Structure 1
């Protein structure tokens, strides 16, 4: 049974989420503040977290960062904050999706199921745990990148993009698929996000970012990793 941690201080919304999730055979726990959320995330090991950003004791962004220190559990933000800046902050901190309040329960449940499926699909097989190139190495289990003998620090979004590409070597991954998997359904047309983050990855990993050897653009179509 999929375990869901609901982090929300609105009791009516918590009740609605609990009823809808339990009706679909999810195991539900809840926390009303950030400290309780971090404790439950560490002790109960949920399969997915639904997180409100406006918590009484700390900003939800801090909860995301706290969880990301040790876990890749999918985090879906539920927030009344609707500006692009708020969404980008949450996604850069490590959130997997962002749902603006008020929201459709059916849409939320669909996004939750998609997040769980992506997490299951992203689990590396025993045959593919270390990707080695002439320029850098990627350890998929430790989630660690090294170049020239030194660790390369990637943001959660950069890591997610790189992980998708290197686990499908030689395969063209469409812009739409990358946007859908990394940012969620509401970002399918935000191709500028991809350009920015791919440029950042190339600066960190390619010897000549302007003429990439490994992270290849297929103009108007998508990206591929050439090992």
Structure 2
């Protein structure tokens, strides 16, 4: 597996490359956004992205990478403010770790996002859900509102699919997190909230996903 490390701190870059190689990963390094976009290739399977880059805001680079590829993006940065996490997730990141972080946890997060990306089962071609002007094509991984496609990130679509499979039923947060992130770790609860907010904003349908306080979410309108 090849990890593209985008980091402008040489010492941290060297340490990350050495550790990931010992863990069995191939690595490609980039010190700025321009190098990262040049290094991004068909063999890239994970992007580990620092936000503090010299030539471009890391969130904007995240957005550009997401436009090119669906590979998992993990933001790793010293910026701990929640608004930075929200910006990164809305730009297409799949996960977020704050420096200083434990490298063993970083490897666990890499394993989690790649497991979801590589081994998520493909639904049957006939699995299309139509509810109140909303069509969710599980096979084609497409969401349409009144016939118009809505561009979602991979994680956002996975959330929609997890809810649309049970229209009208309240799906617990824990079940959504387990299905989308392949983990039982409650720390993804905030990420789930951010992604749901992004889905509502992109679709223009605040009623599409109903929050059931203290329990989870329901695919509404059914």
TM-score tier (shorter): 0.7 to 0.9
1:71-110 superposed matches below 5 A: 71-110=69-108
Partner of 1:36: 35
8 Å Cα contact 1:179-1:187 kept in structure 2 = no
Output the CA distance in 1 between the equivalents of 2:37 and 2:134: 34
Structure 1: tracts of 5 or more residues without a match: none
1:1-227 superposed matches below 5 A: 2-41=1-40, 43-122=41-120, 124-125=122-123, 127-128=124-125, 131-134=128-131, 135-140=133-138, 143-154=141-152, 158-166=156-164, 168-169=165-166, 173-179=171-177, 181=180, 185=185, 187-190=187-190, 193=193, 197=197, 200=200, 204=204, 209=207, 215=209, 220-223=214-217
SS at match of 2:44: coil
Contact 2:62–2:92 at 8 Å: present in 1 too? yes
Which ranges in structure 2 are unaligned for 5 or more consecutive residues? none
Query: Aligned partners of 1:5 and 1:91: how far apart in 2?
Result: 18
Contact 2:44–2:71 (8 Å) recurs in 1: yes
**Alpha carbons of 1:72 and 1:106: their partners in 2 closer, same or farther (altered >3 Å)?**
same
Contact map agreement 1:5 1:30 (CA 8 A) in 2: yes
Residues 90 and 22 (structure 1), Cα distance of their counterparts in 2 relative to 1, 3 Å cut: same
Q: Give the drift of 1:136.
A: 2.5
Q: 1:86 to 1:20 in 2, by over 3 A?
A: same
Structure 2 length-normalised TM: 0.79
Q: Deviations over 1:76-113 (max 9, x none)?
A: 01101110111110111111111111111111111111
Separation (CA, whole Å) in 2 of partners of 1:129 and 1:20: 44
Q: Assess if the C-alpha contact under 8 Å between 2:150 and 2:203 holds in 1.
A: no
TM-score, normalised to structure 1, is: 0.77
Is residue 130–residue 137 contact of structure 1 (8 Å, CA) maintained in 2?
Answer: no
Contact 2:70 2:154 in 1 (8 A): no
CA-to-partner distance for each residue in 1:161-181, whole Å, 9 max, x for gaps? Answer: 213334x54686431343574
Task: Pick closer, same or farther for the CA change 1:68–1:198 going to 2, 3 Å.
Answer: closer
Moved more, 114-123 or 53-62: 114-123
Q: How many residues are paired up? A: 216
CA RMSD in angstroms, aligned pairs only: 3.4
- Measure the CA separation in 1 of the matches of 2:73 and 2:142: 21
Distance 1:12 1:79 in 2: 15
Give the SS at the match of 1:176. Answer: helix
Structure 1 range deviating more: 65-74 or 152-161:
152-161
